[in-house]
Chains A and B, each alone.
Chain A
Amino acid sequence: MDDLIIQLILPLVILQLILIVVALVDLRRVDETRGPKWVWILIIIFGNLAGPIIYFIVGRKG
Chain B
Amino acid sequence: MQWQTIYKKEMLDHWRHFKWIWVPIVFILFAVMDPLTAYFMPIILESAGNVPEGATIDIPNPSVGEAMIMSFSQLNMLGVLIAVVISMGLISRELSTGVYELILSKPVRYSHYITAKFTAMMTLLSVSIIIALITGWYYVTVLFGDLAFTQLLTSAIFYIFYFMLILSIVMVFNSFLTSPGLVAFLSIFTVVVLNAITSIFDHVITWSPMLISDYIGTYFFSGEIETDLYFSTGIAIIISLLLLWLSIFLLKRQEMH
**Does A associate with B in a complex?**
yes
Q: Residues of B within 8 Å of A, CB-based: how many? A: 20
Residue of B nearest to A58 (CB): B85
Contacts of B97 in A (CB 8 A): 62
Check if B29 sits within 8 Å of A26, measured CB to CB.
no
| B191 beta carbon closer than 8 Å to chain A | no
Interface of A is mostly: helix
Check if B22 sits within 8 Å of A56, measured CB to CB.
yes
23-62 of chain A: CB within 8 A of chain B: 23, 25-26, 49, 52-53, 56-57, 60, 62
**Once the chains are docked, how many angstroms separate the CA of A14 from the CA of B109?**
44
Contacts of A9 in B (CB 8 A): 36
CB distance from B142 to the nearest CB of A (A): 7
**Once the chains are docked, how many angstroms separate the CA of A57 from the CA of B139?**
28
Q: Evaluate whether A8 and B142 lie within 8 angstroms (CB atoms) in the complex, with A22-B21, A53-B82, A57-B85 already known.
A: yes
Check if A60 sits within 8 Å of B17, measured CB to CB.
yes
Contacts of A53 in B (CB 8 A): 22, 26, 82
Interface of B is mostly: helix
CB distance from A15 to the nearest CB of B (A): 5
Contacts of A8 in B (CB 8 A): 36, 139, 142-143
Residue of A nearest to B19 (CB): A56
| B125 beta carbon closer than 8 Å to chain A | no
Check if B22 sits within 8 Å of A52, measured CB to CB.
yes
Check if A15 sits within 8 Å of B22, measured CB to CB.
no
Mark each residue of chain B from 70 to 106: 1 if its CB lies under 8 Å from any CB of chain A, else 0. Answer: 0000000000001001100000010001000000000
CB distance from B225 to the nearest CB of A (A): 30
Check if A18 sits within 8 Å of B21, measured CB to CB.
yes
CB distance from A52 to the nearest CB of B (A): 7
Check if B21 sits within 8 Å of A49, measured CB to CB.
no
Residue of B nearest to A26 (CB): B18
CB distance from A4 to the nearest CB of B (A): 8
CB distance from A48 to the nearest CB of B (A): 11
CB distance from B96 to the nearest CB of A (A): 11
| A12 beta carbon closer than 8 Å to chain B | yes
Mark each residue of chain B from 5 to 27: 1 if its CB lies under 8 Å from any CB of chain A, else 0. Answer: 00000000000011101100110
CB distance from A10 to the nearest CB of B (A): 12
CB distance from A28 to the nearest CB of B (A): 12
Contacts of B93 in A (CB 8 A): 62
- Subset of 30 A-B contacts with CB under 8 Å: A4-B142, A8-B36, A8-B142, A9-B36, A12-B29, A12-B36, A15-B28, A15-B29, A16-B29, A18-B21, A18-B25, A19-B21, A19-B22, A19-B25, A19-B26, A22-B18, A22-B21, A23-B22, A25-B18, A26-B17, A26-B18, A49-B29, A52-B22, A53-B26, A53-B82, A57-B82, A57-B85, A57-B86, A62-B93, A62-B97
With A8-B143, A26-B18, A49-B29 already in contact, 18 other A-B pairs whose C-beta atoms are closer than 8 Å: A4-B142, A5-B40, A8-B36, A8-B139, A8-B142, A9-B36, A15-B25, A15-B29, A19-B25, A22-B21, A22-B22, A25-B18, A49-B26, A52-B22, A53-B26, A56-B17, A57-B86, A62-B93
